Chains A and B, each alone.
Chain A
Amino acid sequence: MESMIKQKIKEVKKGDQSAFEDIVTFYQNKVYHICLRMIGNAYEAEDLAQEAFIRAYTNIHTFDERRKFSTWLYRIATNLTIDRIRKKKPDYHLDAEVKGTDGLDMYSQMAADQALPEEEVESLELQTYIHKEILALPPKYRSVIVLRYLDELSLQEIAEVLEIPVGTVKTRVHRGREALRKRLRHV
């Protein structure tokens, strides 16, 4: 897979725009996932993920092919998302609230169409709750937790994505985990 992506990147660098389509298809879920879990709003996540891919395309010539493309791409996505979080900090809690109702809306619609088994409803609610708790973390802990546990990156990879020392990543993962422990204790 990695070699296929490398080949595609070479083609994009040569000016073949259509080769980028395969790259987007391959990474769209991961990038969207990172953005969604960090920003907590589906529309904004889509917007951010799209922006991340466009930035990756316009700056593709700065990508060093000896490095891992995913790391580079995730860095663009996380940086964009972190910037967005910083900008909208004042109304952040308001947004989290909207996200919660979004989930509820979807769930009630589904329930109207077809009755879900009790368990599934519970797991949906639980997931929504967990996502809310992740979103309640301060952004610097949120980013490492999302990359560590949702995208299963290694500590080294997270350090490269966020361009911070591995030691800092470790500290943030530890504190993020402790914060989650307190928040999810009663689940």
Chain B
Amino acid sequence: MNCKKEAVVLMHKYMDGELHKEEERRLRDHLNTCQSCQNHFHELKRATTLVKNTSPVSAPKNFTANVMNNLPKEKKRKSYVRYLQRHPLITAAAVFFILMFSGIFSAWNQDQQVTVSKQENLEIRENVVIVPEGVTVSGDLTVRNGDLRIDGKIDGDVTIINGDIIDGEPQGEISDEFDNSTLRAYSGELTEVNQIYEWVWYHTKQFFTELFAFGSDE
């Protein structure tokens, strides 16, 4: 066996725990006959033992505390980003709502003109929509950017966007009569939307009402 090449290689393989039975036997046989290799092997083992047996060191006191104090503070923005990365559904929902609300906002600012959902038999005078006396509007009525005066009757829900309801008759005379809710001039519900958040809320409500109505149709 060649001492320098083969035997030393086998020694290192032995120390890595990768020696086969056959190789181990050959190495043992060689060590029994070769004094210089025996010395070499002994020195190797001794060196690694010395290195291994050095006492373990422990980290300085307050090491953990120092590390914790030096950690970067969680950045708000970064944590949002991470949050969104981990919740794609929420991201999708957020994008959806942003688009939806921006659509509603632009619709709010779009036109300041008085619009009414039903034009028949209604009078429009200086931003006031009047239901004349003796006229009965059947179905729901939506007034936008204007006040509503009801002299006649509305058979359905009333929605006033960016406006008020004005009582048709002088308040004092008929207040007793009109106090009773059964005698009011409209049969359905009255909804007034004056502020932008109400407008948003109104749209959201409508969206979900439609959504569920659509769902129940099927």
Contact = CB atoms under 8 A, between A and B. Distances in A.
A151 to B, nearest CB: 10
B59 A28 contact: yes
A111 interface: no
Interface of B: prevailing SS: helix
Interface in A147-165: 149-150, 152, 155
B44 A50 contact: no
A61 B82 contact: yes
B40 interface: yes
A149 B49 CA distance: 9
B67 A181 contact: no
Contacts of B57: 29, 32-33, 36
Interface stretch (A13-21, A63-71, A88-96, A98-106): A13-21
B68 A173 contact: no
Contacts of B46: 181, 184, 187
A17 B60 contact: no
Contact of B64 (A28, A155, A170, A183): A28
Interface residues of A, number: 42
B103 interface: no
Contacts of A31: 59
B15 interface: yes
B50 interface: yes
Interface stretch (A1-9, A78-86, A127-135): A127-135
Interface of A: 15, 17, 20-21, 24-25, 28-29, 31-33, 36, 42, 46, 49-50, 53-54, 57-58, 61, 126-127, 130-131, 134, 145, 149-150, 152, 155, 170, 173-174, 177-178, 180-181, 183-185, 187
List the 9 closest pairs (A to B, CB-CB), nearest first.
A32-B59, A28-B59, A180-B47, A174-B12, A184-B47, A149-B51, A181-B47, A24-B64, A53-B67
